[in-house]
Homo-oligomer: A and B are copies of this chain.
Amino acid sequence: MITQAGAPGTATGAMESQDLKKAGLKATLPRLKILNILEKSRLRHMSAEDVYKALMETGEDVGLATVYRVLTQFESAGLVRRHHFEGGHSVFELDHGKHHDHILCIKCGRVDEFMDETIEERQRVIARKAGYDMTDHSLYIYGICTDCQKKEKGRGR
């Protein structure tokens, strides 16, 4: 099967198309564009608004409602993970399969990732003891990153 080379609206890569179909989703232009943003953007964790802005900047014309819908679909399909960072609004990242938790700077918003098997195991034990069938967990460590610590000292104090 051959598609017109350079046909309008075929700007995004072709491989992603398969990813979407494998996930049981129709390979529509908005979905391809959003997937592309998530893959190419320098930010690993993006809010719907972030994705929307990135789309606008590249001249793409996708509605904000669609961004929300698609991200939720991606989540259901297991392509994306949703996090609730402080502040209430959702943040998304491509799901590469490796579970991890987050540590974030309350000054600049920087986000780092970590995985600690000791903590993971303790959580399982705690859930079992409490009689729960654990389905998920979320752990966020908040603090001030190295850079922001320096800045604080710089500004006297």
Contacts and interface: CB of A to CB of B under 8 A. Distances in A.
A126 B114 contact: yes
Interface residues of A, number: 34
- Report copies per complex: 2
A89 to B, nearest CB: 8
Given A118-B118, A122-B116, A122-B118, A127 B139 contact: no
Contacts of A144: 132-133, 135
A119 interface: yes
Interface string A53-86: 0000000000000000000000000000000101
A95 interface: no
B139 A138 contact: yes
Contact of A137 (B88, B105, B123, B142): B142
A112 interface: yes
